[in-house]
Structure 1
Amino acid sequence: MAEQGADPVGLYRTVALIRGFEERAVELVRTGVIRGGIHPCTGQEAVAAGTCAALRGDDVITSTHRGHGHVLAKGADPARMMAELAGRTTGLNRGRGGSMHAADFGVGVLGADAIVGAAVPIAAGAAWAFRRSGTDRVALAYFGDGAVSQGVVLETFNLAALWRVPVVLVCENNGFATSMRTEDAMAGSVVGRAAAFGIPASTVDGADPQAVLDATAEAVARARSGAGPTLLECVTYRFDAHHTWEHTARPRYRTDEEVAAGRARDPLEIQGARIPAATRAEIDAQTATRLDEAVRFALAGPHPDPATALDHLYATGMRPRAGAL
């Protein structure tokens, strides 16, 4: 049974929050407030909403370069997340993590990682620590289809299965590793990778928040019971660019017709159809207000002082030696 946000209204609220956040973030990229661009997760909201709804507050996640939705679904403050993207000291990580490295230990977000697949062993390590300490906490790792051939991911599968650690492995298969189609980059299948290590795996409709929640709840229960890892391949579709750089460069690796077909199964509409229209309208209005406030909060925050660029490099507070960098 899901631990938080399992009701249809709660799932819709999370999907709507992520969708609205990404739309505003893209606009801030266009106006130059967010430097360097972002990797939007528009269209993939059901995965974040459904998986995090199956977790407890003390469970943890690790995320990817396309991780805004994961961080928000786990409970991070959207205002501080927006400030982080905008590089402000009021951000989750004082404006130093940015879009691809957001973390919030307070809600169980151990961090996002821009290196493909690198967050998977971190989650498995946390899960191993939970098992060693005798708690029933669970770790969940997100990664894309492009990560399933990375050595560190496969090594993690091996150890997670061997040591039966309580980790849920969530592959967001959106069909592309940047612009390369999955079938052109991967021999075999995602679930086949897990089967090779004796890890139970299933393919889930990643456009349906409830389907993702149901599958994740089973995997989480299995992990808590001591039965070890589970892999979920959530088949989804990225509506927007791999990176907002595409908005100006406009590479042509998929047709307008394909994108339209992908958009036909919109997580926002799928979950929105499950709640009363009046409730949906109320949530939409509340979400819009909340995100307007988030943007105002982000814009009001100061940029970090360049003189503090070497601060926060070490947990002890120690600064690097003069001339060391």
Structure 2
Amino acid sequence: PKFMFAEFFGKDTGYCRGRGGSMHIADVASGNLGANGIVGGGLPIAVGAALALRQQGKPNVAVCFFGDGANNEGAFHESLNMAAVWKLPVVFVCENNQYGMSTSTERSTAVRRIAQRAQAYDFPGVTVDGNEFAAVAEAAIEAVERARSGQGPTLLECLTYRHRGHSKSDRNRYRTKEEIESWIARDPIGRYEQALQSCGLITPEQVSALVDDVAREIAEAVEYAKNSPAPDAASVTDFVYTRSPKEAAHVR
């Protein structure tokens, strides 16, 4: 988290040395190829990564996360088609939070469930309760194993919701207070906490300690970012273009 916050703040200690900002954080060393500001832009990147994994003979699987608004972009269909034709090891995960900015999926998408669109490319499309940890985990494990065994992609649609606006300028006038509150009552963190306690896997005291520990970690990460140095203006063109492995050895 401290490297992530440092990147948010545009600091030199951030994952991308302050060059990426909040919308372009990446950590290639751990397999995170990063986000981008293009709706649906990650889909073809994931397909390319999956193809690279296939060519290198690696057992890894590429996983691409995107919102419901991306399912009407051309890149979505092009990516699903190519992944299906080549049976690439990729899992497409749509976080369907019901609204692409202020437009509901009911008004923007012809099919009732986004997962249905996988049928056009002859691979599984699965819709799960995105606020239920066990349901998401079970579907994800099956999709990853399918990809790893050479059977090709899966489109996993997770039905969820964003409690707040799309951005700070979003005044939430396109949905009712009652709708928002009904989804807050189904918050996945609270539901998972209850499930763990009902199974006797965690106590209320342990939950409280965990919450405090996370809050402390976040507070320390923010302080780390605040106290980190800004990038040197003289290095503005560094860490932007691909370097040879030897040249890049000193870059995180």
What TM-score do you get using the length of structure 2 for normalisation?
0.90
> Aligned pair 1:258/2:182, yes or no?
no
Aligned equivalent of 2:240: 313
Unaligned 5+ runs, structure 2:
197-201, 245-252
Provide the C-alpha distance between the structure 2 equivalents of 1:312 and 1:288, rounded to a whole number of angstroms.
Answer: 32
Aligned equivalent of 2:69: 146
Aligned equivalent of 1:112: 35
Provide the aligned C-alpha RMSD in A. 1.4
Superposition map of 1:80-229 within 5 A: 80-188=3-111, 189-229=113-153
Q: Deviation digits for residues 18-74 of structure 1, max 9, x if unmatched?
A: xxxxxxxxxxxxxxxxxxxxxxxxxxxxxxxxxxxxxxxxxxxxxxxxxxxxxxxxx
Offset of 1:314 from its aligned partner? Answer: 1.9
Counterpart of 1:295, as a letter, is: V
Q: 2:189 aligns with which of 261, 268, 279?
A: 268
Offset of 1:306 from its aligned partner? Answer: 3.4
Aligned equivalent of 1:238: 162
**What number of residue pairs does the alignment pair up?**
237
Structure 1 window deviating more from structure 2 (252-261 vs 307-316): it is: 307-316
Provide the C-alpha distance between the structure 1 equivalents of 2:42 and 2:178, rounded to a whole number of angstroms.
Answer: 34
Aligned equivalent of 1:281: 208
Provide the C-alpha distance between the structure 2 equivalents of 1:83 and 1:218, rounded to a whole number of angstroms.
Answer: 36
Provide the C-alpha distance between the structure 2 equivalents of 1:132 and 1:309, rounded to a whole number of angstroms.
Answer: 34
Counterpart of 2:156, as a letter, is: L
Counterpart of 1:213, as a letter, is: A
The answer to whether the 8 Å contact 2:117/2:125 transfers is: no
Structure 1 window deviating more from structure 2 (276-285 vs 148-157): it is: 276-285
Unaligned 5+ runs, structure 1:
1-77, 318-325
Q: Deviation digits for residues 73-101 of structure 1, max 9, x if unmatched?
A: xxxxx011011111111111111111111
Q: Deviation digits for residues 194-245 of structure 1, max 9, x if unmatched?
A: 1110010110110112211111000001111111001100000001121123
Q: Deviation digits for residues 140-166 of structure 1, max 9, x if unmatched?
A: 001111111111110110110010000
Provide the C-alpha distance between the structure 2 equivalents of 1:313 and 1:286, rounded to a whole number of angstroms.
Answer: 35
Provide the C-alpha distance between the structure 2 equivalents of 1:202 and 1:217, rounded to a whole number of angstroms.
Answer: 12
Aligned equivalent of 1:70: none
Task: Select the structure of larger CA radius of gyration.
Answer: 2
Q: 1:298 aligns with which of 205, 208, 225?
A: 225
Structure 1 window deviating more from structure 2 (237-246 vs 141-150): it is: 237-246
Offset of 1:124 from its aligned partner? Answer: 1.1
The answer to whether the 8 Å contact 2:44/2:75 transfers is: yes
Counterpart of 1:204, as a letter, is: V
Aligned equivalent of 2:248: none
Provide the C-alpha distance between the structure 2 equivalents of 1:236 and 1:90, rounded to a whole number of angstroms.
Answer: 33
Query: Identity over the aligned pairs, expressed in percent?
Result: 47
